[in-house]
């Protein structure tokens, strides 16, 4: 017997070099308890959302609260539904990614099976801090027009305009969105409308909110209703994606010297898509706001953006017309003219999305992986920031590939029976489709790929 054990140990030592399975670090403990084993996993991966004021409706902070969910936690983690992170971490890794290890998943499962014991309270870890702002007190705070939502109402998709006027053009290092009711504000994509002072008399004129579902508006009609055009009817410059938000997502703060904005004297933030999720049993009035942090220096390397697919610089091929009872692959190709450094990417599809993949093909035929989302999830559309910038050499082709499932097997299909769905109407309704891949980048500079974005 003894000999057998030492043989096993020897095997383990040899194997540890290859697998980590024999390493004690990776063994699930004999007695799994909340305070010692479960709470650290929840505090690192879940309570950013599952806490009062977080993005989810229920909290896992105390033993009493978490215990009730032991069974469903085991299930959703095993299925990798939670924590929400649709990107395949084996394909590419990103800043702030939330992915449980197999060991974490086993601990949660064992804890549930063994009746969710508490353990000794002096083992309890300290709850991390969750500040509502990434950068402290802002130099300017602008309230978003309060929005009233009735109890038990369905999801809302809105366009909201947040106008402002400043004494002079102003540099800013960070613009962030802070949700009022964080468990209702689901996602927010915000652009900046930049007026030339003389071309727009009153930035405050026009509606503040357009509901795309109720108004069945095209984007152009919605923009007019919001009073976005210049006085002569032409359109001002739109800087894309300056302020995005998703519960629990890491804000887009880049290292010093990268990014930054110029706020014109007259401008507006345009939330081209703000999604309010399920309210529950109470009426609520959401008052979110925008924090702006000024900067004395002009943006040194302002972030630029291009977009493949619907409304973008490269078309969807073939046209995004998805016939009922079909599964349809599409793609979009974009040739990069100069060397660029990619910072952040955002794949976008609606409810029929099934999977998404993007990569770059270098002129020499090599592939640079960008992202793979094997199981598309409409609810979790992150702006994925790379840990380090990814250099794409000139003349590479960026390829984005999506698959849509317009069968009744797709549980998210908004129509029963399935109907023709397209992106042709220029509307942004969730029941219409889109295929987009947004890339933020900088013109490449020597050494970019060594700069950490974390
Ligand atoms: C980025 C935010 C976020 C993170 C991180 C997160 N969750 Fe969730 N979770 C949600 C949201 C949103 C829901 C949907 C219900 C709601 O709105 O409260 C949810 C639902 C759940 C549910 C209920 C599922 C169901 O359908 O009944 C469980 C259980 C759960 N999460 C467990 C976890 C666990 C365990 C972790 C960490 C390992 C985690 N979650 C991390 C946001 C998050």
Ligand 1 binding pocket mutation candidate from 34, 50, 55, 84 (most atoms within 8 A of CB): 50
Q: Quick one: tokens of 340? A: 């660029």
Answer whether 140-294 and 304-450 agree in fold. yes
- The architecture in CATH of the region 140-294 reads Sandwich (2.60)
Contact 276, 288 (CB under 8 A): no
**Terminal CA-CA length for the chain:** 50
Query: CA–CA separation, 454 vs 451, rounded Å?
Result: 9
Query: Which residues, in sequence order, are bridge partners of residue 283?
Result: none
Mean pLDDT, range 102-119, rounded to an integer: 97
**Span 53-72, pLDDT tens digits:** 888 889 999 999 999 999 99
> What's the CA-to-centroid distance between 214 and ligand 1, angstroms?
30
What is the rounded average pLDDT for all residues in the chain?
89
> What's the CA-to-centroid distance between 83 and ligand 1, angstroms?
6
Q: Which of 192-201, 301-310, 376-385, 418-427 has the lowest mean pLDDT?
A: 418-427
Contact 441, 342 (CB under 8 A): yes
Task: Look at residue 147 and give its three-state secondary structure.
Answer: strand
pLDDT at 18: 46
| Domain-wise residue ranges, the chain | 31-123, 140-294, 304-450
Contact 291, 138 (CB under 8 A): yes
Q: Which residues contact 30 (CB under 8 A, 6 or more apart)?
A: none
Contact 169, 261 (CB under 8 A): no
Q: Which of 21-25, 153-157, 267-271, 330-334 has the lowest mean pLDDT?
A: 21-25
> What's the CA-to-centroid distance between 184 and ligand 1, angstroms?
14
Q: Does residue 1 carry a pLDDT above 60?
A: no
Q: Quick one: tokens of 84? A: 């929400």
pLDDT at 7: 41
Q: Does residue 185 carry a pLDDT above 50?
A: yes
**Span 214-235, pLDDT tens digits:** 765 677 888 999 999 999 999 9
> What's the CA-to-centroid distance between 148 and ligand 1, angstroms?
25
Q: What share of the chain has pLDDT > 90, as a percent?
A: 69
pLDDT at 250: 61
Dihedral of alpha carbons 80, 81, 82, 88, sign: positive
CA-nearest residue for atom 19, ligand 1, is: 56
> What's the CA-to-centroid distance between 305 and ligand 1, angstroms?
31
Please classify residue 447 by burial: count the beta carbons closer than 10 Å to its beta carbon, then call 0-12 exposed, 13-18 middle and 19+ buried: exposed
Query: CA–CA separation, 215 vs 265, rounded Å?
Result: 31
Q: What does each C-alpha distance from 264 to 174, 261, 272, 363, 369 come to in angstroms? A: 15, 9, 19, 40, 37
Decide: 258 in ligand 1 pocket, CB within 6 A: no
Ligand 1 binding pocket mutation candidate from 52, 54, 56, 57 (most atoms within 8 A of CB): 56
Q: Does residue 3 carry a pLDDT above 60?
A: no
Q: Cα-Cα-Cα-Cα dihedral of 228, 383, 82, 184, to 10°? A: -20
Q: Quick one: tokens of 209? A: 């909110």
Decide: 369 in ligand 1 pocket, CB within 6 A: no
Residues in the chain: 454
Query: CA–CA separation, 290 vs 85, rounded Å?
Result: 26
> What's the CA-to-centroid distance between 105 and ligand 1, angstroms?
14
pLDDT at 184: 84
> What's the CA-to-centroid distance between 56 and ligand 1, angstroms?
6
Please classify residue 395 by burial: count the beta carbons closer than 10 Å to its beta carbon, then call 0-12 exposed, 13-18 middle and 19+ buried: middle
Contact 444, 340 (CB under 8 A): yes
> What's the CA-to-centroid distance between 377 and ligand 1, angstroms?
14
Atom of ligand 1 nearest to the CA of 379: 12
Contact 349, 328 (CB under 8 A): no
Mean pLDDT, range 254-281, rounded to an integer: 88
Decide: 98 in ligand 1 pocket, CB within 6 A: yes
Mean pLDDT, range 280-286, rounded to an integer: 86
Decide: 55 in ligand 1 pocket, CB within 6 A: yes
Mean pLDDT, range 121-149, rounded to an integer: 89
Q: Which of 3.40.630.30, 1.20.810.10, 3.40.710.10, 2.60.120.230 would CATH assign to domain 304-450?
A: 2.60.120.230
Atom of ligand 1 nearest to the CA of 41: 38
pTM listed for this prediction: 0.88
Decide: 59 in ligand 1 pocket, CB within 6 A: no
**Span 325-359, pLDDT tens digits:** 999 999 999 999 999 999 999 999 999 999 999 99
Please give the full DSSP string across 432-454, using - where no structure is assigned. S--EEEEEEEEE--TTGGGSB--
Query: CA–CA separation, 398 vs 446, rounded Å?
Result: 21
Query: CA–CA separation, 225 vs 228, rounded Å?
Result: 8
Atom of ligand 1 nearest to the CA of 54: 2
Q: Does residue 385 carry a pLDDT above 60?
A: yes
Contact 410, 403 (CB under 8 A): no
Decide: 45 in ligand 1 pocket, CB within 6 A: yes
Q: Which of 16-20, 269-273, 290-294 has the lowest mean pLDDT?
A: 16-20
Quickly count: other Cβ atoms within 10 Å of residue 17's Cβ: 8
């Amino acid at each position: 017997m003894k000999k057998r054990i030492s043989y096993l140990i020897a095997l383990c030592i040899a194997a540890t070099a290859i697998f980590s399975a024999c390493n004690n670090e990776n063994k699930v403990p004999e007695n799994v308890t909340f305070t010692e084993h479960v709470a650290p996993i929840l505090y690192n991966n879940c309570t950013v959302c599952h806490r009062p004021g977080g993005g989810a409706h229920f909290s896992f902070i105390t033993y009493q609260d978490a215990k009730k969910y032991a069974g469903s936690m085991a299930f959703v983690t095993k299925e990798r539904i939670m924590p929400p992170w649709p990107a395949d971490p084996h394909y590419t890794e990103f800043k702030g990614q939330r992915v449980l290890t197999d060991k974490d998943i086993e601990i949660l499962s064992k804890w549930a099976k063994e009746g969710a014991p508490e353990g000794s309270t002096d083992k309890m870890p300290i709850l991390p801090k969750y500040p509502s702002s990434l950068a402290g007190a802002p130099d300017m705070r602008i309230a978003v027009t309060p929005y009233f939502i009735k109890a038990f109402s369905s999801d809302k998709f809105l366009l909201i305009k947040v106008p402002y006027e400043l004494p002079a053009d102003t540099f800013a290092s960070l613009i962030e969105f802070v949700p009022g009711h964080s468990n209702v504000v689901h996602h927010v994509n915000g652009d900046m409308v930049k007026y030339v002072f003389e071309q727009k008399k009153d930035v405050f004129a026009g509606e503040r909110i357009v509901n795309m579902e109720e108004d069945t508006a095209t984007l152009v009609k919605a923009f007019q209703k919001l009073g976005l055009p210049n006085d002569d009817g032409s359109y001002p410059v739109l800087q894309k994606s300056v302020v995005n938000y998703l519960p629990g997502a890491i804000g887009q703060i880049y290292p010093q010297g990268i990014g930054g904005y110029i706020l014109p004297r007259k401008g507006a933030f345009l939330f081209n898509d703000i999604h309010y999720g399920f309210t529950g049993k109470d009426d609520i009035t959401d008052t979110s706001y925008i924090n702006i942090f000024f900067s004395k220096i002009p943006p040194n390397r302002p972030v630029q953006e291009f977009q493949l697919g619907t409304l973008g610089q490269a078309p969807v091929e073939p046209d995004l017309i998805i016939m009922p009872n079909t599964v349809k692959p599409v793609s979009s190709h974009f040739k990069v003219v100069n060397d660029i450094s990619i910072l952040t990417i955002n794949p976008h599809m609606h409810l029929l999305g099934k999977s998404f993949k993007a990569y770059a093909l270098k002129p020499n035929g090599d592939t640079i992986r960008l992202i793979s989302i094997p199981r598309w999830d409409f609810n979790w559309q992150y702006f994925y920031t790379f840990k380090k910038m990814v250099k794409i050499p000139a003349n590479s082709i960026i390829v984005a590939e999506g698959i849509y499932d317009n069968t009744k097997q797709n549980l998210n299909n908004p129509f029963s029976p399935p109907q023709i769905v397209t992106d042709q109407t220029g509307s942004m309704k969730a029941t219409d489709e889109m295929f987009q891949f947004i890339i933020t980048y900088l013109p490449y500079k020597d050494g970019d790929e060594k700069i950490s974005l974390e």
